[in-house]
Structure 1
Amino acid sequence: MIRRRAAGWTLLGPERHAGSLARLALADDIAPLCRLVIRDDPRSFVGVLRIAGEDFVAKSPRHKDRRRWIRLTTLFRPGLAFRIASFLEEAWSAGLPVPEPLGALERRRCGGVVESWLFHRYLPGRPCTASDLQPAAAVLRRLHALGWAHGDAHIANFLADGERVWILDAEPRRRIPGGILEAHDLIRLRNSVGGGTGAEAIDILGGRRGLAYRIAGAYDRGVHAARAVKRRLRSR
């Protein structure tokens, strides 16, 4: 992966796409370059742009770039777009079913990331559903074997194209000893299609109920409880 400065942006991407990434950096605003807008709200922008006759997805994590505490963490580590671009390149080079990365751009102010963009190849297909649980779990385990956890392994974050299942929209984390992150990925995936009801017949946990799975399950329940409290407070 190459890293350089251009037109107020910092670029990170594979050498094979360096020219395309540098041309994108000449634009002051990326969004108008997209020929198709999939999402455009305060949380994120997702669009499709055409480069050399091929379609690529452009994503900007607006909400995370604007949150102060997340911005503070980028004082000593790369922003989310750079982390995902590095992950995609490693996974794609290893033959995992992830979209090929074009690269990422980020702008910093006072040392922290204030705007970032991720670009990867557009993939045709449909979002996975409960019927795709087993193949989604299989590619997730391949990801774990490479040393990564997905971070947001909801079934809709996997794409089915014929008989192949692709990994999308990861918030990648390096595996840590103990297997807690991998366990949380699998629990998150199972719960996203019905948890203990719809998923019982296809138990992707394989009967494992060790400490890592208990900790990951408790964490997942805590996250959902906290979100429910936030929603109730906002509705008042």
Structure 2
Amino acid sequence: MRGFARGDRRMRAQPACFHGATVKRRSGRVFHRYTRCVLLTMRLSLRKSKAPRELPPGQCFDDGRDVMDVLETVLGMRPDSTVILNYHGRLSLRTKAGGHTFKIAECESLERALLAEQALKSAYAQGGPVPRFIARTGAVIACEWVEGRSCKSLPALQQVEAVLECQVALWNRTAPDLPGPPRYVHLESLLARFARIGPRTLPATTVQGIVDRLRARLPDAVDVHLIHPDLTPVNIVMTEDGPVIIDNEVISIGAGCEFDVWNSGEALFGFRNSSAIKEYVEAFHRKCPMPSLFSHQPVWDDFRMLRKGLKSLTKGRRLKARRLFRKLEPREDLASEHCVHRGYRMHCPGRRPDAERLFQAVVDGTFVEKMVFKSDGQTYSGLIEIEGQTCVLKIPRGRNRRLSQRLMSFFRPSVAVRQMQSMVQLAQLGLRTPEPVCAGERRAMGILTDSFLLYEYAEGRTATRDDAALLTPELLRLHELGYTRNDPHAKNYLIDERGVVFIDTILRRPRLFRTLRLSRGLIRFTSSSPMALEHIPDRITSSWAYRLARVFTGVTQWWKHRRRGLRLRLKQRGVGGSRRER
């Protein structure tokens, strides 16, 4: 009894949550073990998918030719056995025929195969770290198989030495002369691939803008070398004579060896270890002096982001790819000039030399008002002239005075700045809009107190509901690009000889319920232009999203009118009460 009492006291002395904590710890351990099992299974399946496997019958190359027929053409004999080493859209094979072993690789295109053939022949003739070239047919090349230990299995320091030795060896070999000017072969290949598959995640105009921006950032190609864009320990084999590069289908001739060096450093140390990458690049620079080695590094950061996005897109990770591609958008057009004049901060798209002068003239009021388009408690819009230059000045008075808008401005730009940014985005999407000059805003303790927008005057007449045949295709085109605009009424468009011009636009890109919100924008447009229904395809008007948006819009419009009526009644009662008191 005494021992039982002591045990009972010990049990009573424990906290009340003891058993719950035990269950929680046990469940945590179970979840941890379950997670480890899942990750181990995924890792084993990944290794299994990457492991060499026998070539199945009927396998074809990317151009549709049968693999066995191509191998017989290249080698001149029927292969005894063929194993698939890797397959990322293009085949890489190990083939045995006539007592010899060969590596068969499929290049990206016929041009890349021709460059790889010239590079391999030239490097092998000069004693470079490449295998002996055998033959080529179309975009498929055959080289001698190299037996050896993978460089990836070596210690980290020896991997760095092997990669550096191969990179220096390629640099010191003389490249054959090319008929045309030097080119960034690998980077152009990345851009072409992005232009081909990028529209899966982004609008085609945005993809083209990114391609144009990256191509414009490339410096002029001067020197031609033997280049390899993926020189990593995985693609090197250690033999008795030294390291040998086995990834033969991507070796080429052209400019851009600087980018190859930075890519190898990031593959060895990870792109976050900037100090180790810099040491590797400096070690290469000491052996192979390159004046442009360090100046090209910022350009390589963008192309590294592009490669990561393409790799994520290939694996089906569209959200991650879209997030990476968004970082490459040409945002220099939305750069803000740090110009402050009398408490107003200027925001200017691009680098206009006259933006600061026009901005200061608006703030000081030293302009001539030529015409007033609209002037009420909500908005001022007028045509002004500054030293012979005609512009449109718009001041959102209602939004500047509204308390809710002022509080929201603490977390986001003003309406004027957002409208300026929308003008730039419309131009990038290929839609017509006036060219913005600048936007100004004044804040007190981070809260907006005043703002204005200045943009160039666009000729044309204001659209009416009778112009639905012209306005509807442009609005549908904007929706197809994934954007919707505020207040899509006909009065917010201009019509000129070339077509439709968007004015007073704030773009939004819906993330949730995109189809429903785009349909709601169409319904708001058709409420002011009923004839637009004739130009909207039946597949849109008969969709469930359009019907649901029509019901939702009807409910919101009913509540809007009901609320206005209640406010009007309360206001009239207040006025009547004051009269009775008098």
TM-score w.r.t. the length of structure 2 is 0.37
The alpha carbon displacement at 1:233 in A equals 2.9
**Distance between the aligned counterparts of 2:362 and 2:487, measured in 1?**
31
Structure 1 range deviating more: 16-25 or 166-175: 16-25
Listed as ranges, the gaps of 5+ residues in structure 1 are none
Q: Contact 2:409–2:447 at 8 Å: present in 1 too?
A: yes
SS of the equivalent of 2:565 reads helix
Task: State which of 492, 495, 515 in structure 2 corresponds to 1:160.
Answer: 495
SS class of match (2:352): helix
Aligned-pair RMSD on alpha carbons?
Answer: 2.4
Q: Deviations over 1:178-197 (max 9, x none)?
A: 32232122111111123xxx
Report if aligned partners of 1:21, 1:102 keep a CA contact under 8 Å in 2.
no
Task: Report the residue type matching 2:536 in the other structure.
Answer: I
Question: What does the per-residue CA deviation read over 1:188-236, in whole Å, with 9 as the maximum and x for residues that have no partner?
Answer: 1111123xxx455x14253423343234323322332233224323433
Cα distance in 1, alignment partners of residues 384 and 480 from structure 2: 33
* Contact 2:483–2:509, Cα closer than 8 Å, also in 1: yes
Query: Which residue is 1:114 aligned to?
Result: 449
Q: Residue type matched to 1:20 in 2?
A: A
CA distance in 2, matches of 1:20, 1:59: 16
Deviates more, 1:103-112 or 1:213-222: 213-222
Structure 1 counterpart of 2:490, one-letter code: I
Aligned residues: 232
1:148 alignment counterpart: 483
1:227 aligns with 2:560: yes
1:183 equivalent in alignment to 2:516: no
* 2:538 partner SS: coil
The DSSP-based 3-state class of the residue aligned with 2:441 is strand
Q: Which has the larger displacement, 158-167 or 40-49?
A: 158-167
Paired position in structure 2 for 1:6: 340
Residue identity opposite 1:90 in structure 2:
Q
The residue correspondences of 1:17-32 to structure 2 (distance < 5 A) are 17-25=352-360, 27-28=362-363, 30=365
Alpha-carbon contact 1:6-1:25 (below 8 Å) kept:
no
Residue number among 389, 406, 410 corresponding to 1:71 in the alignment: 406
Match status 1:139 vs 2:471: no
Unmatched 5+ stretches in structure 2: 1-333, 570-582
Give CA-to-partner distance per residue, 1:97-117, whole Å, 9 cap, x none: 111111211111121111111
Classify 1:26/1:157 alpha carbon distance in 2 versus 1 (closer, same or farther; 3 Å).
closer
1:172 positional shift: 2.1
Larger RCO: 1 or 2 (CA < 8 Å, sep 6+): 1
Superposition misfits of 4+ residues, deviation over 4 angstroms: 29-33
Aligned to 2:374: 39
1:90 aligns with 2:422: no
Within the candidate set 421, 424, 440, 1:105 is matched to 440
Distance in 2 (CA, whole Å) between partners of 1:24 and 1:192 is: 36
98-107 vs 2-11, which moves further: 2-11
Post-superposition offset of 1:71: 1.1
Distance 1:129 1:23, change over 3 A: closer
Report the CA distance between 1:153 and its aligned residue.
Answer: 0.7
Asked whether the equivalents of residues 24 and 30 of structure 1 are also in contact (C-alpha less than 8 Å), the reply is: no
Larger Rg: 2
CA gap of 1:13–1:206, structure 2 versus 1, over 3 A, is: farther
Shift of residue 149, structure 1, vs aligned partner? 0.9
Distance 1:140 1:67, change over 3 A: same
- Asked if structure 2 preserves the Cα contact closer than 8 Å seen for 1:184 and 1:213, the reply is yes
Distance in 2 separating the partners of 1:15 and 1:52: 22
Between stretches 90-99 and 25-34, larger displacement belongs to 25-34
**What residue in structure 2 maps to residue 173 of structure 1?**
508
Amino acid at match of 2:485: H
Aligned residue identity for 1:6: V
- Report the Cα distance in structure 2 between the residues aligned to 1:31 and 1:229, rounded to whole angstroms: 45
- Normalised by the length of structure 1, the TM-score is 0.86
From the superposition, tell whether residues 29 and 182 of structure 1 become closer, same or farther in structure 2 (CA, over 3 Å). farther
**CA 74–22 in structure 1, closer or farther in 2 if over 3 Å, else same:** farther
- Given that 1:31 and 1:47 are in contact with CA atoms closer than 8 Å, whether structure 2 keeps it comes out as no
Q: Write 1 or 2 for the structure with the bigger share of strand.
A: 1
**CA offsets, 1:140-185, max 9 Å, x none?**
1222244321121112212111351111222321232432232122
Name which of structure 1's ranges 167-176 and 57-66 shifts more when overlaid on structure 2: 167-176
Per-residue CA shift, 1:25-63, capped at 9, x if unaligned?
354465964322222221111111224644221111110
Change (3 A) 1:18 1:69: farther
As a proportion of its length, which structure holds more helix? 2
In the other structure, the counterpart of 1:48 is 383
Percent identity among equivalent residues?
A: 29
1:217 aligned onto 2:550: yes
What whole-Å deviation, never above 9, does each CA across 1:85-135 have from its counterpart, x for those lacking one? Answer: 011012124431111111211111121111111122212222222332122
Paired position in structure 2 for 1:193: 529
Structure 2 CA distance for partners of 1:136 and 1:199, relative to 1, 3 Å: closer
Alpha-carbon spacing, 1:193–1:92, altered in 2? closer, same or farther (3 Å): same
- With over 3 angstroms needed to count, the CA separation of the structure-2 counterparts of 1:94 and 1:27, relative to structure 1, is same
Which of 45, 60, 74 pairs up with 2:395? 60
